[in-house]
Amino acid sequence: MSIPLPPWVLEDIGKNPDLVYTDRSGRRNPEYISLGCDMLPELKGRTPIQVYTDYMRSFGQRFSDYLGDVIVEIQVGLGPCGELRYPSYPESNGTWRFPGIGEFQNYDKYMRASLSASAKAAGKDDWGQGGPHDSGHYNRFPEDTGFFQNDGTWNSEYGKFFLDRYSGKLLEHGDRILGAAESIYQGTGAKLSGKVAGIHWHYNTRSHAAELTAGYYNTRDTNGYLPIARMIGKHRVVFNFTCMEMRDGEQPQSANCSPEGLVRQVKNATRTSEVELAGENALERYDGAAYSQVLATSRSDSGNALSVFTFLRMNKRLFEQENWQNLGQFVKSMLEGGRNARRPECDSSRADLYVGFIKKTHSMKAKEIALV
């Protein structure tokens, strides 16, 4: 499903293209408004944060009778595809292909002005010119670049300055939006959640290039998910993460993937920050192996346990006989705390079961499962 920005926003973008994210080559991405102008009155006299806040307030007023009962959770959009990230790997127009490292998205005039101001404040005027010149292109590998290779510029004084600023702006953006959402929906009984992307390719390299271009300052030496978890926890929001069904052995070796290592890191970060963790599958899977991996990652013995799992996707394939039987066994295993699964027992003490949007059963002590 594609939900574009409203026509009146697109009209403003037509007049001022710098309102959207821009890469080093000048490509504009109209999927989301650049966080560089979060606090600037560039949308017919209002700031983007004011517009987002007005929308959330309007939603809360319109559906006030349903909040906390029919509407039990609201996922707050924080960026492209609703995720807290930069649009560093745009798939829709063929610009990026897996497992490319992506590109930094800080070349609109607002992001450039912010970086320039930070560089001047640090006494390094020449660091504020826009971004690394040696970071490659969307479909390169880390070792093909000067910035992301093992001993690359990412680990230099300049690299650390740039990455800290780039990721810090993303954290500020999430903090502003979740703060507004918290003030609007507190006391309604509806939980809030925020989604973080599961960027598992090149995870087994020192630089974690694909995560860096997306705004997650996560390297061999820096834990990028702990500050994200703390920011989300500050507003009592559920940390929603993906790739819960993926195994390292299923990935192409050349891409240096580790979805399992990434999930473990996120689980530990949310446990340390005492933040509730929810999960999703990244790919459309209906096989027993994928369900078994979800059961394994939902446990508490390798970090924070999942309180919610969203299964993608409810369509015709799901209702094919074998796929439906596999789903039934998976739901049963989650209900019984994993006792019928081949993996050890799940921690299943914190939520009720939701199957589809059909019924809410308070007597069931199990994982929360949503079919989307």
> Annotated active-site positions, please?
83, 280
Pairwise CA distance, residues 236 & 181, whole Å? 11
Integer Cα distance of 199 and 217 in angstroms: 12
- Token pair 């970060």 is at which residue? 269
Count CB atoms within 10 A of the CB of residue 342: 10
The rounded Cα 356 to chain-centroid distance in angstroms is 23
* Residue 279 to residue 260: CA distance in whole angstroms: 13
Q: Say if CB 86 and CB 212 are below 8 A apart.
A: no
Alpha-helix residue ranges (DSSP H) falling in 215-371: 225-234, 259-273, 288-297, 321-335
Residue 369 burial (10 A CB sphere; 0-12, 13-18, 19+)? buried
- The DSSP letter of residue 74 is E
| CA triple 319-321-327, angle to 5 deg | 65
Burial class of residue 123 (count of CB atoms within 10 Å of its CB; 0-12, 13-18, 19+)? exposed
Half-sphere exposure of 181 (CA within 13 A, CB side): 24
